[in-house]
Amino acid sequence: METKTAKLLDGKALAAKIQQELAAEITQLQPQIGRPPGLAVLMVGDNPASAAYVRGKERACAKVGIASFGKHFPTETTQAELEEAIHTLNQDERVDGILVQLPLPNHLDAVSLLHQIHPDKDADGLHPVNMGKLMRGEPGLRSCTPAGVMRLLQEYEIPLRGKQATVVGRSILVGKPLALMLLEADATVTVAHSRSQDLAAITKNADILIAAVGRPELISAQMVKPGAVVVDVGINRITDVGGNSRLVGDVNFDSVAGVAEFITPVPGGVGPMTVAMLLQNTFSTYLRVTKKV
């Protein structure tokens, strides 16, 4: 019998397409507006993974014509110094988006810093004002990873209306906002998490299954409804007995690909979409600000 393999939801290809579209729009608008869009990524300390993420974001900005106003602070930087830097960027008319790269050193309060960012410049879409707008179904900046998932589903014309969508994970970064976005698209939404009893019974009902828990290969083929759409938000580094490390998601890709109709790869699925939505948010603010001028 021929082994069935799920079709890939290619986030990398879609992110490249979005970047091309943004680059074309920015090239056209910049002469009229007199400046490019601007994004400021603030990083504290020397976390190598964070440094790699920040470099990736700045490269993506350069590719589409967004100016970077990033700042790299030493580990011992105080809360007050960072707040002052954010306030300065809030006032800077060249800057359309601000984000603080997480995680921060332990002595800093990330939530309090997030509250200092002006909601209109909240490129990550995580400010309580923007979360509230999502809750109410009002226009506003949307959290990048869940917005990226929704854009990927839209690109592949995956129907959501009336479908059973299950989100495994309830973080403020992904699980909660994604559940609200799916509700807004008329899906019937279940949110499961680490305390849910009989997780397999819950996930097996899902037409659209989204894993966002940060547990390597938690979702196996036995937990997936045949023909489901599986989106893997997880990104976990695992090391085998030989000491070789590789990235895996929250879904056991090889086994689930034999059951699902669509699946996202890790890497190359949701990750590139998160960066694409960050650029899109920065561009949206740029458009809005310039219309007021």
Counting Cβ atoms within 10 Å, is residue 67 exposed (0-12), middle (13-18) or buried (19+)? Answer: middle
Nearest-angstrom CA–CA distance, 88 and 84: 6
From the candidates 10, 19, 96, 101, which is the catalytic residue?
101
In the residue annotation, 4 being an active-site residue is answered as no
Report the DSSP beta bridge partners of residue 190.
166
Question: Is residue 77 a contact partner of residue 104, using CB atoms and an 8 Å limit?
Answer: no
Contacts 24+ apart (CB under 8 A), 207-210: 207/163, 207/164, 207/165, 208/153, 208/158, 208/160, 208/163, 208/164, 208/165, 208/166, 208/182, 209/165, 209/166, 209/168, 210/149, 210/165, 210/166, 210/167, 210/168, 210/169, 210/178
65 is in an annotated binding site: no
Q: CB neighbours of 241 closer than 8 A, spacing ≥ 6?
A: none
70 is in an annotated binding site: no
Q: CB neighbours (10 Å) of residue 144? A: 25
235 is in an annotated binding site: yes
Which candidate, 169, 202, 227, 201, places its Cα nearest to that of 6?
A: 227
Single-letter amino acid, residue 170: R
Which candidate, 42, 149, 145, places its Cα nearest to that of 90?
A: 42
In the residue annotation, 101 being an active-site residue is answered as yes
From the candidates 10, 19, 57, 96, which is the catalytic residue?
57
34 is in an annotated binding site: no
In the residue annotation, 116 being an active-site residue is answered as no
Q: What is the DSSP letter of 151?
A: H
From the candidates 124, 207, 232, 250, which is the catalytic residue?
124
Tell me which residues are annotated as active site.
57, 101, 124
Residues making up the binding site: 169-171, 235
Residues making up the binding site for NADP(+): 169-171, 235
